[in-house]
A and B are shown apart, each in its own frame.
Chain A
Amino acid sequence: MALLEVRNLSVTFDFLEGKVQAVRDVNFEIEKGEILGIVGESGCGKSVMAKSIMRLICDDYCNLAGNILFNDVDLLTMSEEHLQKIRGNFISMAFQNPLSSLNPVLTIGLQVAEPFLIHTDMSRKDAFLKAQEMISKVGISDPETRLLQYPHQISGGMRQRVAIAMALALEPQILIADEVTTALDVTVQAQIIELLKKLNKELSSSIMFITHDLALLTNICHRVIVMYAGQIVESASVDELYNDPKHPYTKSLLQSIPRIDKKKKSLTSIPGSVIDLRDLPDGCAFFARCSFRKDVCKTSPELQQIGAKRFCRCHCL
């Protein structure tokens, strides 16, 4: 049994201009201790999917369908009170922009101590001591002073460490890291990746690592899901995906990574732009941009199992 099973998840936004199908019939699972990468261009629905796992986007416009089974309990039908006990405790999340994901008027100490304050019956003093411990665990020097500082007083990389410390405070079983490295410098990116890997080993938390940067995934993930237009188009282990991509979209994503080990004339980019989710075509969503397209691609392809844990959504296999 997998730790988290996502079954037929669909997320639809009912805007007055029309429906937007941000996530379409997504199935996957995360095993204990696994680092699962989710990759795709911006607007492919990966972030919406991540947020919907914890039901963080349930406003009036948004419809969630399917099942999200966490230890066999469905998060989508759970009561809000029950869900609050899971959020931050068993599943937690860190966000893209470390500048805006921390409250500017509260001290770092309070924000890191907060999970302890709400999920355990620790005293305030103990919670702050634990917070201090967490802050030094994510590699921030001088934790005692940092506790009393405010987010604007520390650097972006440090802020992201704080956000991760906050998310990992209660040693959750799953950490959802939504583009946590995107807003950071390359060197800081590498540090954060190392940090996540280390924490994954030490705490044996599963990590769902979301990014649009395929190159980054190879450094950290065990398994990768490629998303396009709200659907999974390919899922495979990192090695398989990297050495033998099946889906044309994955192939072109890999080709657009600059590499120094292979002699290549120029960097390829994928022609066209991300599809408009309000106006999906009947056939394959990648049809317009695909260089292998055939007539059969005008009907939508199914996700086929093509290996032990390999899936691909393409007619041209």
Chain B
Amino acid sequence: MAKNQGSETIIAHGVRVEGDFVSDGDVVIEGEVAGTIQAAGDLKIGELAKIGANVIARSAIVAGEIRGNIQVAEKLELLSSARMIGDVTAMVLSVSSGAQVNGKITMDGREVKIKKEKEENGEE
């Protein structure tokens, strides 16, 4: 597994996250998430990951399963093992052969607002 850089968050296989997950940095998810995900940095969802959450991120690479809507401010990459059950909003979308998308795709350039961790904690 890659080492974490800066304030990168890693959720490994064998761990489940429940609740409103907010991160100011990059996020790598190999485990399970139930709730919501907001990542101000780059989000990587691994092949074994199972996400039952609405996802908002600056950019994302998805190889696992997402049951929920995903909004990406910049580029969303769905790799061949990706399974999307929900609506997709992205500025740029890349779908590899074999990836499944079951939902509405919107690419109208609308702004995606990402909540910061500091705002979440009520700090200035």
Q: Do A and B bind each other?
A: no
Please list the residues of chain B having a beta carbon within 8 angstroms of any beta carbon in chain A: none
